[in-house]
Amino acid sequence: MTDMPNATPKNSLLRQDARTVKRNRAETRFKAYGIAAISVGLLMLVILLVTIIGRGTGAFQQTFLTLDVQLLEAKLDKKGNRDLQDIKKVSTFGYAPLMAAALEKKVAESAVESDLKPKEMAALLSKDAAAQLRDFVLENTDLIGTSVQFRFLTNSRVDGYMKGRVTRESIANDKNINAAQLDLVDALVKDGALEKRFNLAFITGADASDARPEAAGMGVSMIGSLFMMLVVLALALPIGVAASIYLEEFAPKNLITDIIEVNISNLAAVPSIVFGILGLAVFINYMHLPNSAPLVGGLVLTLMTLPTIIISTRASLKSVPPSIRDAALGVGASKMQSVFHHVLPLAAPGILTGTIIGLAQALGETAPLLLIGMVGFIASNPPDGIASGLMDPNSAMPAQIYEWAKRADPAFYERAWGGIIILLVFLVTMNAIAVMLRRRFERRW
Amino acid sequence: MKDNYIPEVDVTTDKIKISARNVQVYYGENHAIKDVSVEIQDKTVTAFIGPSGCGKSTFLRCINRMNDTIDICRVEGDILIDGEDIYDRNVDPVQLRAKVGMVFQKPNPFPKSIYDNVAYGPRIHGLARNKTELDEIVERALKRAAIWNEVKDRLQAPGTGLSGGQQQRLCIARAIATEPEVLLMDEPCSALDPIATAQVEELIDELRQDYSVVIVTHSMQQAARVSQKTAFFHLGHLVEYGETDKIFTSPEDPRTESYITGRIG
């Protein structure tokens, strides 16, 4: 070696040996796999979000037709005494002619050429429009006898035409609308009377029957979900936390507690439909609680959420360092004092996070609701009061979405996507709150 | 730091505070303490020394029944404090622990304010009738633990924000705030730097005036510096127990001598 001063030594650090090269290559490959996996995941997420937003945002807009309606006293309040009971006796059939007249007048005034009969013109309006007007009049009886400008919902075909879902080609076999009606729609759009607007009723309203998708909204099922979540929170949180504290801090470690522990973990993995049929058998058939009631839904979801809450609560109790328990016991605190004064406050953020995640899970759960009758067309008005909210038939957000998705009219399909957006907003908000709580209260030791 | 300084033996009283007779401790199948009998004097610092795993901490934790929290742990034999069997069925361990305070190896202040850390014990035992009394107790405990001057301006600051040595002195303050009669210390200086250790050792020597202090330590110099009596544990046996200077200068048992001279351990 001495005669070759420039030659590198055999074990030079400047050159990688074969083994190192192989190892490094394996590492590079593995990193590439990881990046590929993440990219695929992200791509899926983007596709999902784009699809949901692309298809769902339409549900938040609705086509409205603005008309001046004469609220004729002779039709709506024959006695003329503005007595609410008497006005209520006039059904929606009494209002339909007023609307038809208003539309006819509008067409005449705006110099739109149309050969349509008044009845065909009126078909542009939603079947729900008369009910809309009636509700408005019942709330504002003093307006009877005057002329009011009112924004009517249009038929879902008109709405579909405005959103590009219905085309002149696609209506060939459609009995609900014809080309002449679409001509009138075009003319009214030009006139400015017919336009797409933000549809608050989709967020606040109730479900509607098959014939009037334009009137369907999520509001009542949101209230159903809210009541279920209240039941879950009121039951699952205290029961879950108490059970976890007992199991983690007080229970002796023996065969029985081992079995309980294993079973709780298994319970978390039980398909939710099993809880549904359990709820049907116990709460409805045996305890005779009402069908389709958010109370029953809440009870079933409580069963489902309990294991999640227990597992996360126990995990956060476990993560409290034992030195804190020793410290409390060392100054003469009782077991309970050490748990409630020191361990529980330190575990609280974890417990809260677990509870919120459990609630979010329950909020999105559909399968158990199938069996207790919360999925289906449940035409209900917003409940008045807590008791009616708990006991009256209602749906839930995911059940409502499922219900819309299986209906025939494509207008409902759009609403299902819109419902998914609302549900996701709720879930994302809840998860964000969970993350925030964890960040805020996390303690460093 | 005079490492080899051995204090004058000035045991102020011969009164027996803690008396253990034929104590056996089992962790499941494992026989951790084998037939230990020892008499610990009042107003004395007693050091437990011995190699790791010899059972000295286990025995210490028997004195305030901290081992009760370990499910598989079983204690046999009698431990008497002031002549009362602490393993008697009528003894509530919570009451016992108020009487026998404990300081742990790792400083473990509650994640609360300095004030609340010290006030917690007096609060749960109802030692103060009002806020003023509680303030006095806290101040007295912090002064006795020689940390008052460092924290008096920030009593509401979190206890976990103090340095390691300060935290340990805070834990000592917390332990003495409940007015115990015996103070158990499980390697209180093992997580501290030499300066903090010196401060704590000085403190232990002062505490001897009012309490019977039992300290577990890995440092023989520390045992020699702070204690008047020393017990040497080996493999669960109490090998030798006696005056500290005698143990360190002329041990009777060959195992003690080997340990002290560094041949086993």
Digit-coded pLDDT (tens) for B200-253 = 898 898 888 888 999 999 888 899 999 999 999 998 899 999 999 999 888 888
Domains of chain A with CATH codes: 61-199 (no CATH), 219-441 (1.10.3720.10)
Q: What is the pLDDT along chain A (445 residues), one digit of tens a residue?
A: 455 556 666 778 888 888 999 999 999 999 999 999 999 999 999 999 999 999 999 899 999 999 998 888 888 888 777 888 888 888 888 888 888 888 888 888 877 777 788 888 888 888 888 888 888 888 888 888 888 898 999 988 999 999 988 888 888 888 888 888 888 888 888 888 889 999 998 999 888 888 888 989 999 999 999 999 999 999 999 999 999 999 999 988 889 999 999 999 999 889 999 999 999 999 999 999 998 899 999 999 999 999 999 999 999 999 999 999 999 998 889 899 999 999 999 998 889 989 999 999 999 999 999 999 888 888 777 888 888 888 888 999 999 999 999 998 888 999 999 999 999 999 999 999 988 888 887 765 4
String of DSSP letters for A233-245 = HHHHHHHHHHHHH
Residue A337 in contact with partner chain B when CB distance is under 8 A: yes
Q: Which site among A250, A319, A326, A331 would you substitute to test the B interface, given the most B Cβ atoms closer than 10 Å to its Cβ?
A: A331
User: Cβ separation of B106 and A323 shorter than 8 Å?
Assistant: yes
Structural tokens at position A82:
């503005």
- The β-bridge partners of B41 are B16
What's the whole-model pTM score? Answer: 0.82
CA distance B120 to chain A (A): 8
Contact B236, B31 (CB under 8 A): yes
Contact A169, A36 (CB under 8 A): no
pLDDT tens digit sequence for B47-75: 999 888 888 889 999 998 988 888 888 89
For residues B197-213, one letter each, b for 16 or more C-beta atoms within 10 angstroms of the residue's C-beta and e for the rest, the string is: bebbbebbbebbeebbb
Q: Among residues B155, B156, B151, B92, which one has the least CA distance to residue B125?
A: B92
Measured between alpha carbons, how far is B162 from B164 in angstroms, rounded to an integer?
7
The phi, psi pair for A276, rounded to 5°, reads -60, -45
The residues, any chain, with a CB within 8 Å of residue B59's CB and separated by 6 or more, are: B20, B23, B25, B33, B36, B48, B233
Give B-chain residues touching A249 at CB under 8 angstroms: none
CA distance A242 to chain B (A): 20
Residue A323 in contact with partner chain B when CB distance is under 8 A: yes
For residues A92-124, one letter each, b for 16 or more C-beta atoms within 10 angstroms of the residue's C-beta and e for the rest, the string is: bebbbebbbbbbbebbeeeebebebeeeebbbb
CB pairs under 8 A between A and B: 66
Which residues on chain B place their C-beta less than 8 Å from a C-beta of chain A? Answer: 64, 66, 69, 71, 94-95, 97-99, 101-104, 106, 108-111, 120-121, 124-125, 160, 171, 174-175, 177-178
Contact B18, B42 (CB under 8 A): no
Residue A348 in contact with partner chain B when CB distance is under 8 A: no
Measured between alpha carbons, how far is B217 from B223 in angstroms, rounded to an integer?
7
SS3 of A90-154: the string is CCHHHHHHHHHHHHHHHHHHCCCCCCCCHHHHHCCECCCHHHHHHHHHHHCHHHCCCEEEEEEEE
Amino acid sitting at position B193: D
Element (DSSP H or E) covering residue B155: none
Structural tokens at position A74:
């002779």
CA distance A322 to chain B (A): 10
ipTM: 0.85
Q: DSSP state, B113?
A: B
Among the partner-chain residues A327, A337, A445, the one whose CB lies closest to the CB of B104 is: A327
Strands B100-103 and B182-186: parallel
Measured between alpha carbons, how far is B92 from A333 in angstroms, rounded to an integer?
11
Residue A196 in contact with partner chain B when CB distance is under 8 A: no
Residue A341 in contact with partner chain B when CB distance is under 8 A: yes
Measured between alpha carbons, how far is A233 from B12 in angstroms, rounded to an integer?
62
Residue recorded with tokens 């020394």:
B49
Give A-chain residues touching B102 at CB under 8 angstroms: 326, 330
CA distance B249 to chain A (A): 35
Measured between alpha carbons, how far is A415 from A438 in angstroms, rounded to an integer?
35
